[in-house]
């Protein structure tokens, strides 16, 4: 089993959807990634920062699931990163209401000694210079470095973002971001341009329409499970990334064929994440539920045309 | 092999896309459906109407491929239905520039005697009362009646449309139309409501995001093949329907399992249709090209997770 290092936010979220609204609840990219990866019982560690206002019980949720949190810096006199957003009726778009960086403004990530030789590095959505700092702290070149990012960094830190992109093996972004990054509407052409920037594997997330995995001239399409109801999309992309990274860490096989399975696991876990507010569904998620839904994914996509 | 009756428009289209524009070229729902179905060498007939201005060579394109055109009425003194549209840059939306109904305004479909016992009826996008007239002319209840329609008929002829919907086994509509017809945003809930209106099978077309097939509590998701370039989406939905109906006519198996294959064939043929203007790509399409692309579809979606 490979070791997995995760860098990203551990935060407070306040969310409003057509179904209701929350006060400050547990959120953050690294939280969702860590919870998803913990489904695979891999040896993982989160590198992040929180303030003195962050409840110990939230950190315990991660450590209770085997996620090492010695790399989560606690700034006693500081306040935790806070994000608040409101989803539109179609649940596909949202407005950010509040972003308080707080302790995240001066985040200087420190990878724990025991994880500097981790084979898999998952760079959650954060300033690209923070992501780069984590990569540079690794004592060996990781077997697989995975980058998640978003349009915000393309707008304000494109040169730094391109430097990190050049250093990673896999990038996960959504369709609009792939188009923004490359100036290409066709996702096939966009993926090829992103390949040329560095990553050998490009995962394009399309929300309710699933996810595409590109590698050289090959492509794999994992549809999203059609759901009766999407309750709260927050964290779905991070959960996808955590499932993807966690599965690869567990199986120690970073071939394209096995990455297809990783995409299916990521999609499966993300389909649970959106069923409740925040991390609620991921926290009580049982292995047998995951197993049942994987079977649904198989039924959803597999067909039996004989090709002679 | 089952007999297949197709009703729909045979028409002139003039198309403008970001890649160019055409004069009046061959178009119409029944044309695209017939060309797609002809890939399966099934015994099919088109029921439609054209004016004296319609070139014989366009009709020959169908009959040369084994499609019976004795049900295509030619009104010598009339003009053929003409549609003109312009696609936006994203190719997902379009404006209709011209709609001249011409002979279609008084279309009274006549199913040829030899096809009144056809096992499969494909009702292409047309006024629902015309679709109903074809259903009523069938001497036996067809093994499978498939309905294609669009938002336009929901706007101006909803009661008649609902009557036809109640009589068919399969409906194919796009995601926005499914939402309009049911008032439900979730496609899972929308499909369930459409089941309750009559059709045991609901196919929801999502364009570049693929197609969903719903049946009772089961669902199958055929992604669209990611393409470098969509040149002209005109006729893609009809081509999908023609591939779907043609495959079912050929295999004579209308089970849910086989319908999955029909959806894959429909998607495969539609992926060719959009590569050139109008019917151009469908007319020169070779069996071995279809075969190769089916294999691509298999590679695109099949994965090997062991579920114990």
| DSSP string for chain A | --EEEEE---EEEEEEETTEE-SSEEE-HHHHHHHHHGGGT-EEEEEEEEETTS-HHHHHHHHTTTEEEEEEEEETTS---EEEEEE-TTSS-EEEEEEE-GGGGG------GGGTT-SEEEE-SS-HHHHHHHHHH-SS--SEEEEE--HHHHHH-HHHHHHHHTT-SEEEEEHHHHHHHHS-SSHHHHHHHHHHHS-SEEEEE-GGG-EEEEETTEEEEEPPPP-S-----TTHHHHHHHHHHHHHHHHT--SHHHHHHHHHHHHHHHHHHTTSSTTHHHHT--HHHHHHHHHHHHHHH-------
CA distance A56 to chain B (A): 37
**Residues of chain A positioned with their CB less than 8 A from the CB of B268:** none
> Is the pLDDT at B285 greater than 70, yes or no?
yes
Q: Residue A191: CB partners within 8 Å, gap ≥ 6?
A: A178, A202, A204, A212, A214, A219
Quick one: pLDDT at residue A229?
Answer: 86
pTM of the model as a whole: 0.93
In this complex, which of A264, A294, A305 lies closest to B261 when CB atoms are compared? A305
Say if A33 falls within a structural domain.
yes
B19 touches chain A (CB under 8 A): no
In a domain, B236, yes or no: yes
* pLDDT score recorded for residue A5: 98
Residues of chain A found within 8 Å of residue B264, distances taken between Cβ atoms = 303, 305
Give the distance from CA B104 to its chain's centroid.
18
Residues of the domain holding B187? 3-301
CATH value at residue A12: 3.40.1190.20
Residues 75-104 of A with CB under 8 A from B: 89-90
Answer whether residue B307 is part of any domain: no
Q: For residue B139, is it within any domain?
A: yes
Residues of B within 8 A of A89 (CB-CB) are: 185
- Catalytic pick among B238, B253, B284, B299: B238
Report how many domains make up chain A: 1
B197 touches chain A (CB under 8 A): no
Mean pLDDT for all residues in chain A: 95
Q: Does A307 fall in a domain?
A: no
Contact residues on chain B for A264, CB-CB shorter than 8 A: 303, 305
pLDDT tens-place string over residues A94-150 = 899 999 999 999 999 999 999 999 999 999 999 999 999 999 999 999 999 999 999
Is residue B306 one of the residues assigned to a domain? no
Cα gap B47→B66, rounded to integer Å: 14
Q: How many CB pairs below 8 A link A and B?
A: 98
Distance, CA of B60 to CA of A182 (rounded, Å): 45
Span B116-144, average pLDDT: 97
In a domain, A306, yes or no: no
- State whether A307 and B298 contact (CB < 8 Å): yes
Q: Nearest CA of chain A to the CA of B302: how many Å?
A: 6
Length of chain B, please? 308
The SS3 of residue B119 is coil
Give a yes or no: residue A308 inside a domain. no
With beta carbons under 8 A apart, name residues in chain B contacting A229: 186, 189
What distance in Å separates residue A93's CA from the closest CA in chain B? 14
Please report the pLDDT score of residue A19 as a whole number.
87
Known catalytic residues of A? 238
| Cβ contact A264–B300 (<8 Å) | no
Helices (H), chain B: 29-37, 56-63, 128-137, 151-156, 158-165, 175-182, 187-197, 236-251, 256-273, 280-283, 287-301
The pLDDT confidence band at residue B90, using thresholds 50, 70 and 90, is confident
Q: Is B169 part of the annotated catalytic residue set?
A: no
In tens, the pLDDT along B193-214 reads 999 999 999 999 998 899 999 9
How far does A297 lie from chain B, in Å, by closest CA?
Answer: 9
What pLDDT is attached to residue A189?
A: 96
pLDDT band at A308 (very low <50, low <70, confident <90, very high): low
Could you give the percent of chain B with pLDDT greater than 90? 92
- Across chain B, what does the average pLDDT equal? 95
**pLDDT given at position B308:** 57
Of B209, B257, B300, the CB nearest to A219: B300
């Amino acid at each position: 089993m490979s070791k997995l290092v995760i860098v990203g936010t551990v935060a407070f979220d306040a969310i409003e959807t057509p179904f209701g609204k929350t006060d400050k609840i547990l959120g953050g990219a690294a939280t969702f990634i860590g919870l998803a990866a913990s489904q695979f019982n891999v040896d993982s560690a989160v590198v992040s920062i929180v303030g003195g206002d962050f409840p110990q019980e939230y950190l315990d949720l991660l450590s209770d699931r085997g996620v090492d949190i010695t790399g989560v810096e606690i700034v006693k006199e500081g306040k935790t990163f806070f994000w608040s957003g409101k989803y539109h009726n179609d649940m596909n778009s949202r407005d950010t209401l509040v972003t308080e960086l707080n302790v995240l403004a001066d985040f200087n990530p420190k990878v724990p000694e025991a994880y500097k030789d981790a084979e898999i590095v998952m760079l959650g959505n954060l300033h690209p210079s923070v992501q780069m700092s984590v990569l540079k702290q690794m004592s060996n070149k990781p077997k697989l470095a995975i980058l998640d990012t978003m349009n915000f960094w393309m707008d304000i830190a494109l040169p730094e973002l391109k430097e990190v992109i050049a250093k990673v093996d896999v990038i996960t972004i959504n369709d609009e971001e792939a188009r923004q990054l490359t100036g290409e509407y066709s996702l096939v052409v966009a993926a090829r341009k992103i390949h040329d920037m560095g990553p050998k594997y490009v995962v394009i997330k399309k929300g309710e329409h699933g996810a595409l995995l590109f590698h050289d001239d090959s492509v794999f399409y994992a549809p999203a499970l059609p759901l009766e109801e999407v309750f709260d999309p927050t964290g779905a992309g991070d959960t996808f990334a955590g499932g993807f990274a966690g599965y690869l860490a567990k199986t120690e096989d970073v071939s394209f064929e096995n990455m297809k399975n990783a995409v299916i696991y990521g999609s499966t876990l993300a389909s649970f994440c959106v069923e409740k507010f925040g991390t609620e569904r991921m926290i009580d998620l049982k292995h047998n539920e995951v197993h049942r839904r994987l079977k649904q994914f198989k039924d959803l996509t597999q067909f039996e045309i004989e090709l002679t």
